[in-house]
Amino acid sequence: MSEGRGLISLTADAVVIGAGIVGLAAAYYLARRGFSVVVLEKDYVGSGSSTRNAGRYRVHFGNRENTEFAIRAIKKLESLSGELGWNGVFERQGYLWLVRRKEVLENYERLNEELWKPLGVPVQILTVEELRDRFSYINTQNIVGAVYGPPRMGPSTTITWCWVITRGRSILALGFMSIPRLKTWV
């Protein structure tokens, strides 16, 4: 591995390429299991999609696998600050889709009955009247209804989570190693 002018030699049980949210999470959980881990990042921590996204999460996905995965992911987010010993930003604002086509709304109604309700996901399908009552500032022209995921399915931000995972006291205690700006040839 090269770092500008010199060479450094490192050995580790696992080498993770890329310090985005996925690489950092993989590194963190490997380190927690007792493996030594090196994270190689070609730019800076969180320089990829993980700090450039919309920062939204939701539970109401169109299939069982993603829905169950998202339910578990939110439970994990809720406990992650405590686990890491640093605070992440975790706002709860709800998640609203405005729907323009009747057949799309009908599909959401079907998903709600067949998938979301049985899994305990509290999605509400709103008529235009309910939408106006609840969110009077929304322009409902050409809207046939809405799908509302209540605040416990609201947005978070992976920018903060990258930072928290990298800087968290727990991870340093576990010997996690991050090398920002190290060039690799992968």
Residues found near ligand FAD in the complex (CB under 6 A): 17-23, 40-43, 47-50, 52-57, 158, 184, 186
Query: Which residue's CB is nearer to ligand FAD, number 95 or number 108?
Result: 95
Query: Which residue's CB is nearer to ligand FAD, number 29 or number 133?
Result: 29
CA contacts within 13 A on the Cβ side of 186: 11
Asked if residues 11 and 177 have their Cβ atoms less than 8 Å apart, the reply is: no
Query: Which residue's CB is nearer to ligand FAD, number 118 or number 151?
Result: 151
CB of 51 to ligand FAD, least distance (A): 7
Question: What's the distance, CA 71 to chain centroid?
Answer: 11
Asked if residues 153 and 75 have their Cβ atoms less than 8 Å apart, the reply is: no
CA distance 149 to 167: 32
Query: Which residue's CB is nearer to ligand FAD, number 55 or number 154?
Result: 55
Asked if residues 43 and 178 have their Cβ atoms less than 8 Å apart, the reply is: no
Asked if residues 111 and 125 have their Cβ atoms less than 8 Å apart, the reply is: no
CB of 163 to ligand FAD, least distance (A): 13
Residues paired with residue 148 on neighbouring β-strands, in sequence order? 96, 124
CB of 62 to ligand FAD, least distance (A): 15
CB of 182 to ligand FAD, least distance (A): 8
CB of 79 to ligand FAD, least distance (A): 18
Query: Which residue's CB is nearer to ligand FAD, number 137 or number 185?
Result: 185
